């Protein structure tokens, strides 16, 4: 394989997706814990693994950490799926829609069926809105980070002035 010397090295899609997913889970899982701590949501940070563990255990600091790890794992899977399906999508709207889709999938379908949470009609409005906003921002983070790396969005970034250009004062 002949590469020109001035060609930029290509980013490994899957490794990049795992990194983005890890940091999405780390950041937004932390926000999830803060939202629970300040009573913006009635769901525990470990709501993803609620069917596997007792609720009382998930409300301890070990349960918080286990829930955080579960959210990181979900984020890595979500980032890999986004890379597979929408890596070339341009703009932030696909990421926002991706977050809404994950929220709907978890809160309207999988969550109530598996016992992760009550049906949405039985959740308080603060919980529903907080979780919806969190998943929108989470999806935006994953989607826009991945799309920005694998589309020509970087070419629109301002670049350094060359030596031959006059300095503007």
- What are 101-123's pLDDT values in tens digits? 999 999 999 999 998 999 999 99
121 belongs to a structural domain:
yes
Instruction: Give the chain's domain count.
Output: 1
26 belongs to a structural domain:
yes
The answer for residues whose C-beta is within 8 angstroms of residue 55's C-beta and 6 or more apart is: 44
27 belongs to a structural domain:
yes
Stated pTM of the model: 0.82
163 belongs to a structural domain:
no
1 belongs to a structural domain:
no
104 belongs to a structural domain:
yes
Q: What's 116's DSSP letter?
A: S
Residue percentage of the chain with pLDDT more than 70 = 85
Which domain, by its residues, includes 121?
13-150
Place of tokens 């060359």: 162
**37: nearest Cα among 7, 62, 56, 64:** 64
Q: What is the pLDDT of residues 10-35, one digit of tens each?
A: 778 899 999 999 999 999 999 999 99
């Amino acid at each position: 394989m002949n590469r020109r010397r001035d060609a930029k090295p290509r980013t490994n899609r899957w490794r990049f997706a795992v990194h983005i997913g890890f940091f999405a889970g780390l950041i937004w899982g932390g926000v999830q814990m803060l939202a629970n701590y300040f009573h913006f949501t009635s769901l525990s940070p470990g709501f993803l693994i609620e069917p596997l563990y007792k609720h009382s255990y998930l409300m301890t600091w070990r349960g918080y950490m286990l829930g955080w790890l579960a959210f990181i794992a979900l984020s890595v899977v979500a980032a890999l799926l986004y890379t597979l399906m929408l890596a070339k999508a341009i703009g932030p709207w696909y990421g926002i829609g991706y977050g809404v889709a994950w929220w709907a999938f978890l809160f309207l379908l999988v969550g109530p069926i598996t016992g992760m949470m009550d049906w949405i009609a039985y959740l308080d409005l603060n919980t529903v809105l907080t979780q919806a906003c969190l998943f929108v921002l989470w999806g935006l983070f994953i989607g826009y980070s991945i799309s920005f790396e694998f589309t020509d969005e970087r070419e629109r970034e301002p670049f350094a002035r060359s030596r031959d250009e006059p300095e503007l004062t």
